[in-house]
Structure 1
Amino acid sequence: TEISHPNTLRFKASLSTNAPLSGRKLRAAVIGAGPAGSSAAEALASGGVETFLFERSPPTVAKPCGGAIPLCMLHEFDIPSHLIDRQVTQMRIISPSNLAVDFGKTLRPNEFIAMLRREVLDSFLRSRAESLGANLVSGLVTDIEVPNTSSTAPYVVHYTANNSRHALSVDVVIGADGANSRVAKSIKAGDYACAIAFQERIKLPDEKMAYYKNMAEMYVGNDVSPDFYAWVFPKCDHVAVGTGTVRAKQDIKAYQRGIRERVKPKIAGGKVIKVEAHPIPEHPRPIRVRGRVALVGDAAGYVTKCSGEGIYFAAKSGRMCGEGIVKASEGGDRMIEEEDLKREYLKAWDAKYISTFRFMDLLQRVFYGSNAAREALVELCGDEYVQRMTFESYLYKRLAEGDGWEDVKMVCNTIGSLARCNIVGR
C-alpha cells in the first residue's frame, strides 16, 4: 500500500512508531540561507514540511568565496547559465620554482568549471526555496533553546528582526550557519580546526582581464601558503586573488603579499574593489546530528582538504538532509527522532562522500607539506592521465573509471616524482 501526497512524492505505508501530527505539519527551522540552507529549505518545503529559512544578511551582500562549482551541480541543482560569470577551460598550476603546467588539456569541448559569485548564487537558491513554500525570515538568530527531556518538546529559535526580539517554536532545526555555527554550539557539537581564507577582488584593465577570460591559476609554495594554495580566479568583471592557511593564520596577510608578488605583472594597474576573509573547516565536526538537530555545509565541516571545495558539498548535504527529513516524517505528517536523522541523512552522506574527504586529506598531507613535495605535485599534474582522472572525479562527483595499467604507472610516477624532487628539486 502506498500513500499519495499532494506534492507527488509517494511513501510506502509506514511501520514507523513516530507519533503522527494532528492538524498540522512538521515544522523545521533552517538557520542560514547559503547553498546548504537554501537547498535544505527547498527540499523540506516542496516535500510538505512547514519550513522557516533564516538569513541575517541582505540578498545582495557579497560572500567571500572562490566561487568554483563542478559541472554536475549545474544539472543537479538546475542552476541557470546566466548566473555563471566565467566558464573556465584553462587551469594553470605554478610550482614554487615557477614551473607552470596547463591542467585542462583533457577537458572535452562541452566541459568547463563554472565560476560565479556567491551573492548571486545564494540569492537565486534562496528565492527558489521561498517560491516553493519556504518562509523566509530576515533576522539574526541569537539563541536556540534545546528541550531537556521530552523527545517531542519543541526547539525555540530566538532571533532579532527589525530591532525587535522574536521566538519561534519548531520540531526540527537544520544548522547551515557556517563554520562559526551558533546551532553547533547550541547542541555542543564539538570544535574543529579551521583554516582562514583571505582574498582581494581586483578589477583589472581590459587587456589584463582578457588573459583571465577563461583561465584560473593556482600557485603553491611556502611564500604563498605553508599548507594550502593561492589562487587567481576570474569573476564577471574582476579577478579574485587569495590564499589560505590553517597552520599560520597570523601570517595570512604576508602570504597574500606573496601571491600578489607572484602575479604582479598580470595584475599591474588593477584596483582592489573588495577585501574579504572567512574561516574554512578542516574536517567534519565530531557531532553532526544530536536530537532533532542536524548540521550541514560548513557548519558540519564539509569542505575538502587539498582543493578547498565546499559549495557543491554544502548544497548536496542540505538537500540530502531535507529529503531525509521528508522521508522520515512521511511528507511532514509525523514527528521524527534523532535516529531518523542519523539513518536517512548522516549514514547516507557518509556512505557516499566520507571516503572522498579522507582521500583529499591524504593528498594534502603528502603534497602540501614542503616545497619539494609541491614541485612533485606540479610535475604530476602535467600527466594527461592524472588530469583526466582528476577532472572526471571533480566535474561529475563520481569515481572515475581508470585503466589498471595506467593506475600502476601513476603510482610509480608519484613515488618517482616525490623521490626525485625531495633529492634534487627542480
Structure 2
Amino acid sequence: MKFTLVTLAGVVASASAFSASSFTGKSLVGVPSSSSALDMKYKVAVVGGGPSGACAAEIFAQEKGIDTVLIERKLDNAKPCGGAIPLCMVGEFDLPESVVDRKVRQMNLVSPTGVEVSIGSTLKPDEYIGMCRREILDQYLRDRAQQYGAEIVNGLVTSIDVPADHKTNEDSRYTIHYQEYTEGSKAGVAKTMDVDVIVGADGANSRVAKAMDAGLYNFAIAFQERIKIPDEKMKFYEEMAEMYVGDDVSPDFYGWVFPKYDHVGVGTGTVVNRPAIKQYQKAIRDRAGDKIAGGKIIKVEAHPIPEHYRPRRVQGRIALVGDAAGYVTKCSGEGIYFAAKSGRMAAEEIVALMKGGSRLPSQAEIESTYIKKYDNLYGPTYAVLDILQRVFYSNNGAREAFVELCESKYVQQVTFDSYLYKTVQGNNPLDDLKLLGTTIKSLIGGYKKAKPDAVFSNPEESKKRI
C-alpha cells in the first residue's frame, strides 16, 4: 500500500509528542468581548481544561446565545506528556512563541543494539517540532477562552444526571454535580449546574464518558520523569530529542528523552505489560546513560493514554473530544494536536447546528457533522499508524529494521512533512516501491542480529479497560 513505510517515520516525528518557554501572563490582544448574559438562551458545559476543552470553550464563548462554562479541577495542570506539537499547530491555533520551549530540529533514534540514526537534515531552516510544557500551553489556551467570555470554574465533576429522554426531548437538561474549589482550599463545596449541551474533554478517565455510557477502551500507561541535568549536558538537547526502541525500554512502544524549558523529560509507555512500567523507566534512564548523568529528578508523572476510539463518542447532546474520545495515535502517542483540533471541530459544528443559539442539535446531527468530518479527515492516519506499530514495535528484529529505514532521506522527508503539516505530501510511487524492497531487506537483517525479546505474562492486567 502507498503508505507502507513512508509513514513509518511519522513514528519518529510524531514521537516528539512532548515539552515549552515560560508564559508571560500578558493579556491577549484583539479578543472581542462576549455577549451579555441576558442574550444567552442555552448553556454549554465543557468538562476538562486541556487543549481539547480550552479550544472548544473558546469557540462556544464567541457565539451569541450560548452561555459557556469550562470546568477544570487542576488549573496548574502538568499532565504527563512529551509535549511535542507540529509546526502547523502554531499557526492554526495562533500560538505565541512564549508557549514553545524548544524548537527541535534533530531526533536521535537508538536501536536495541545501540545503532544510532540522526534525522532532521531534510527540515528547512524555519521548520521545527515545538516542545511545550503542558502547564504553560494549557493555561494560555484557557486564558484565551476566558477572555472570549467563557466562565472558568475550578471544580471536580463527580457525577452527571442524564435524563432518560435526553435524545428526543429538547427541554430536558443535564445536571452536573461538582465540587468547586477556591484558591488555597483543600475541601470543595458541593454544587450543581443545569446545562443543555456537554462536551467531555476530561481525559482518559472521563467522568463524562462514564455518565453517557460511552464504553471502555484499552489504554497504555505513560511514565515520565522530569530531570534537571547539568547545563553542559543540556546543551546537547538544545534542538535535539531522542527516541529509544527495544523490549528493555518497552515491549510495544518506545522510550524518550525530550527537552523541556530547563530540563528533560525522560519516559516510556506500554499497553501489554503495564505492571512493569517502572522496570522500563529504569531501562530508559540506563540507556540514556551519561547524557543525563548527574541529573536530579524534579517531577514524576504517570497517566493512562487511550489506545483507540471510544465505542460511542456522542450520546444525545453530549460529545467527547481529545483523550476522552480516544484521539491518540498509535506508534507515536501523539495527542495534543488532535485534542485541540477535535475540541475546536466539535464546537464549530455544534455552534453551526445551534444557529445563533436558537435551537439545540440532535445526536444524529452531531454524528453526521463533527464525528463524520473528524473520521474522514484523520481516520486513515490512525489506521496506518496502528499498522506501523504492530509491524515495527512487535519485536527487536523489527525495531532494528525500523531504525535502519529511518536513515532514508525519502522516509525522513515524507515523515516530517506529514507530521509538521498533517497532510500527505505527494509520495513518489517509484520511491515507494524502492522503499518496500528496502523494508524487506532491513527486516531480514534486523531479525538476524537482534536478541530475542524477553518473555512476560500478565493475563489479568492485560484485560483491564477504562
Length-normalised TM-score, structure 1: 0.93
2:371 matches 1:373: no
Residues 118-145 of structure 1, C-alpha deviation per residue, up to 9 Å, x if partnerless?
A: 0000000000001001111111111111
Alpha-carbon distance, 1:47 to partner: 2.7
Q: Does 1:133 align with 2:149?
A: yes
Structure 1 residue aligned with 2:73? 56
Please tell me whether the aligned partners of residues 330 and 389 of structure 2 are also in contact (alpha carbons under 8 angstroms).
yes
In structure 2, C-alpha distance between the alignment counterparts of 1:47 and 1:305, rounded to whole Å: 35
Structure 1 residue 425, shift from structure 2 partner: 4.3
What letter corresponds to residue 151 of structure 1 in structure 2?
Answer: N
Q: How does 1:156-305 map to 2 (within 5 A)?
A: 156-162=175-181, 163-305=188-330
Aligned AA (1:146): V
CA distance in 2, matches of 1:242, 1:88: 17
Q: Deviations over 1:13-34 (max 9, x none)?
A: xxxxxxxxx9742211000000
What is the CA deviation profile of residues 136-174 of structure 1, one whole-angstrom value per residue up to 9, with x for unaligned ones? Answer: 111111111101125220011111114321111111100
Amino acid at match of 1:52: V
The counterpart of 2:173, out of the listed 122, 139, 154, is 154
Structure 1 position 348 matched with structure 2 position 373: yes
Question: After superposition, what is the alpha-carbon deviation per residue over 1:250-283, rounded to whole angstroms, capped at 9, x for unaligned?
Answer: 0000000100111121111110000010011001
* Structure 1 residue 102 displacement after superposition: 0.7
Q: Which amino acid in the other structure matches residue 173 of structure 2?
A: P
User: Please, which runs of 5 or more residues in structure 2 have no aligned partner?
Assistant: 1-31, 33-37, 182-187, 452-466
- Given candidates 352, 356, 365, the residue that maps to 1:327 is 352
Question: Which amino acid letter does the alignment assign opposite residue 86 of structure 1?
Answer: R
**Distance of 1:180 and 1:216 partners within structure 2:** 29
Q: Report the equivalent of 1:67.
A: 83
In terms of mean alpha carbon deviation, does 298-307 or 43-52 score higher? 43-52
Give the counterpart letter for 1:240 in structure 2.
G
Say how many residue pairs are matched.
405
Distance in 2 between the 1:164 and 1:88 partners? 44
Query: Does structure 2 retain, via aligned residues, the 8 Å contact 1:328–1:344?
Result: no
The alignment partner of 1:139 has SS state of strand
Partner AA of 2:234 in structure 1? M
Q: Cα distance, 1:424 vs. partner?
A: 4.4
Structure 1 counterpart of 2:68, one-letter code: T
Asked if 1:34 is matched to 2:50, the reply is yes
Give the deviation of 1:61 after TM superposition. 3.5
Q: Distance in 2 between matches of 1:313 and 1:335?
A: 26
Which of 378, 385, 393 is residue 360 of structure 1 equivalent to? Answer: 385
Q: TM-score, normalised by structure 2?
A: 0.85
Q: What one-letter code is carried by the residue in structure 2 that aligns with 1:418?
A: L
Distance 1:409 1:96 in 2: 25
SS in 2 for 1:263: helix
Kept in 2: contact 1:92–1:103 (CA 8 A): yes
Distance apart, 1:422 and its partner CA: 2.0
Q: Could you say which residue in structure 1 is the equivalent of 2:458?
A: none
Write the distance in 2 (CA, Å) between the matches of 1:295 and 1:138: 20
Q: Cα–Cα, structure 1 residues 315 and 23, in superposed 2: closer, same or farther, change >3 Å?
A: closer
Q: Provide the aligned C-alpha RMSD in A.
A: 1.3
Q: Are the aligned partners of 2:77 and 2:138 in contact in 1 as well (CA < 8 Å)? A: no
